[in-house]
Structure 1
Amino acid sequence: MDHGPVPLGWEAPAMLVTDDPAVHQLRSLLTLAEELHFGRAAARLYLTQPALSQQIRTLERRLGVQLFARTSRKVELTPLGQALLPLVRNVVGAADELRYAARHPADGKDGLTLRVGLTDCAATLAATRRVIATLTTLHPRLEIDFQVLDLVEQATALSVGKVDAAFAYLPVPDGLSVEPLTTEARVVCLSATDPLARRATLRLADLADRPMISLAQEVSPVERRFWAVDPRPDGTRVRYTDHHVTRVESLLSAVSFDGAIAFLPAVAAELFPRPDIVYRTVADLEPCGFGVVWPERAGEDCPGITALADVCRRLRDQGGLPPGTMRRPDEELPPAAGR
């Protein structure tokens, strides 16, 4: 029943006031956990540093715990803050899923829509675009819904049913079917001020004392170990930073400021040139693969996945999937920073 407009000056009853953390505060926590730097985290969130600090203080007050240890020179997660991160990501992920479900209700097209996940990097690759172009040509009634994912979302979107298939760098954890597309070299990303940046080619032994930027815990162990080369060929285990990175841009900033390193596909030198970092060849670094992945059982019931897998196999067998971006072979590659 409509009781008319709310009178001016009316206030909500005290029982409606809640100390539950807000989703935007939890999202700020995740961003700061990645960057471990208030300035960079605030810039990513389009906030001022004081506004971000206030959000974190409010969140800590509502939870009744200290999430970050702050000094004039360093920001780091407390042990409890680090332990809470997976739960925080679950809450933020559930909120994102709710928003997506509300905006994309079931449309009754009976399998004619294929939801495809990809990262910003994968979207630029020639293999991705060749596959999609061929798929839409051969199956014009198949509607493709693209969803851009970060590193954590890429690791979880398939398992929670947010996407049907994804373009991803390999390897991937068990439980996923894979159609490999291309192989490319990996490179090391270094701060431009690192003494090793002066050398054109390195070996893994040269990098033994450099810590690796830590990816978010939701990224599978098989992927974390592969991208860190952990353990190294001589059996040495790798040291990691305290970051919990979910985006390539955050990883690069961490490399620049913290003196750590990261291994990336060679195409990163073309996609992410920056004056504060360099990319260098590592002579004994194993290459990486790139392909399309989907949950093993899903392929049996989804015509779109079947069509996508068939196109991948056809193009791969024809040799029509070069590594790298859409840059034409006669275009000169712009020099990477510090080259």
Structure 2
Amino acid sequence: MREPSVHQLRLLLAVAEELHFGRAAARVFISQPALSQQIRALEERLGVPLVERGSGTVRLTPAGQAIAVEAKAVVEAVARLVQVSDAHARAVRGTLRVGSLGAEAAMPYAAAVLSRLREQHPHLEVEVHNLNFIQQFDALANGEVDAAFLRGPLPSGFQSHQLAVEPRVVCLPADDPLAGEEKLTLAQLADRAVVDMPREVPRQWWDHLTINPRPDGTPVRFGPVVRDTEAMVLAVLQARAITFLPAAARRLYPRPGLVYVDVPELGNSVSFLAWLPANRDLPAVRALREATRTAEQNPRVLSE
């Protein structure tokens, strides 16, 4: 006896379910004579009749009924085999370098993306690189990292996926006369110096975040220059300046002597996963983007 092909077993199942050669042939997209020929070939291979053919009717023989049950198990097993092989063929290996501006990779939305990525691609090694204000855009642009968790606004030339939105707040020394207020306006903060960025940081980015100039046209008075968020809050602790941060700073950077106060005029801080267009379809970056889509919830304002 010659072993039947999986294709022949699929055709037998179509006949068994339709009990009509014409309908079965249409279902599997072949002609009725071709289907009949394949069933006869299957009967010859197995050495038993499978189908009783009558005038317009089709019935399975007892052997056909028993073999159809086994054929279904074989066809389903082959489908599972193909799924497993496809999953292994799609498995992404190697190393993915992900940049993180400060504590961005520790935020819930970023952590969910990285967790999903590791679940979907266990053979992919993920390196998280902490980036300061100077490095955040340059590391992505020059290829030091393959993608990065950043805060907007993003420079032109990057592609991105928005992850979350949250309010912004002002960070003040606890002994500042305004520290006890529930909410503040930019006008109330007009005489305070604001921490500044090194010249390597895109000026447009920092001016946007500090609202420079202010709505009345007044330029911001800048104070000490900092390279990262830790240096930023230290400058505020030393009462040398104030700064504006996402509301998550209340959780991420709680320090004795610091107070965070709402300033509705500051608007929201937007978090992004960013990558270069040229890297979009690299296997590891594509896997990261897919993990983002499957892990994300709709962008939302984060509550404290």
TM-score in terms of structure 2 length: 0.65
Corresponding residue SS for 1:158: helix
Corresponding residue SS for 2:225: coil
CA contact (8 A) 1:184 1:265 kept: yes
Corresponding residue SS for 1:297: helix
Q: Residue 129 of structure 1 aligns with which residue? A: 111
Aligned partner of 2:230 among 234, 245, 249: 249
RMSD, aligned α-carbons:
2.2
Separation in 2, partners of 1:116, 1:195 = 41
Q: Residue 289 of structure 1 aligns with which residue? A: 270
Separation in 2, partners of 1:183, 1:311 = 19
1:311 paired with 2:291, answer: yes
1:188 paired with 2:170, answer: yes
1:272 paired with 2:272, answer: no
> Identity over the aligned pairs, expressed in percent?
37
Q: Residue 130 of structure 2 aligns with which residue? A: 148
Paired residues for 1:168-187 under 5 Å: 168-187=150-169
CA shift, 1:295, in A, is 1.6
Provide closer, same or farther for how the CA distance between residues 137 and 322 of structure 1 changes in structure 2, counting only shifts above 3 A. Answer: farther
> Could you report, residue by residue, the CA deviation over 1:174-194 in whole angstroms, capped at 9, with x for unpaired residues?
111111000000000011121
TM-score in terms of structure 1 length: 0.59
Structure 1 letter corresponding to 2:291? V
Provide closer, same or farther for how the CA distance between residues 259 and 198 of structure 1 changes in structure 2, counting only shifts above 3 A. Answer: farther
Separation in 1, partners of 2:254, 2:126 = 31
CA shift, 1:123, in A, is 2.6
> Could you report, residue by residue, the CA deviation over 1:73-121 in whole angstroms, capped at 9, with x for unpaired residues?
xxxxxxxxxxxxxxxxxxxxxxxxxxxxxxxxxxxxx973211111341
Q: Residue 145 of structure 2 aligns with which residue? A: 163
Please identify the structure whose Cα radius of gyration is greater. 2
Paired residues for 1:29-48 under 5 Å: none
Provide closer, same or farther for how the CA distance between residues 111 and 154 of structure 1 changes in structure 2, counting only shifts above 3 A. Answer: farther
CA contact (8 A) 2:93 2:125 kept: no
CA shift, 1:228, in A, is 1.0
Provide closer, same or farther for how the CA distance between residues 322 and 129 of structure 1 changes in structure 2, counting only shifts above 3 A. Answer: farther
CA contact (8 A) 2:93 2:123 kept: no
Separation in 2, partners of 1:172, 1:111 = 29
Q: Residue 19 of structure 2 aligns with which residue? A: none
Separation in 1, partners of 2:279, 2:120 = 21
CA contact (8 A) 1:125 1:323 kept: no
Paired residues for 1:53-64 under 5 Å: none
Separation in 1, partners of 2:227, 2:163 = 24
Separation in 2, partners of 1:216, 1:118 = 19
Separation in 2, partners of 1:261, 1:248 = 12
> Could you report, residue by residue, the CA deviation over 1:98-147 in whole angstroms, capped at 9, with x for unpaired residues?
xxxxxxxxxxxx97321111134113210011001111112223221221
Aligned partner of 2:213 among 210, 227, 231: 231
Separation in 1, partners of 2:217, 2:293 = 36
Corresponding residue SS for 1:151: coil
Separation in 2, partners of 1:314, 1:206 = 43
> Could you report, residue by residue, the CA deviation over 1:37-74 in whole angstroms, capped at 9, with x for unpaired residues?
xxxxxxxxxxxxxxxxxxxxxxxxxxxxxxxxxxxxxx
Separation in 2, partners of 1:147, 1:283 = 32
CA contact (8 A) 2:100 2:136 kept: yes
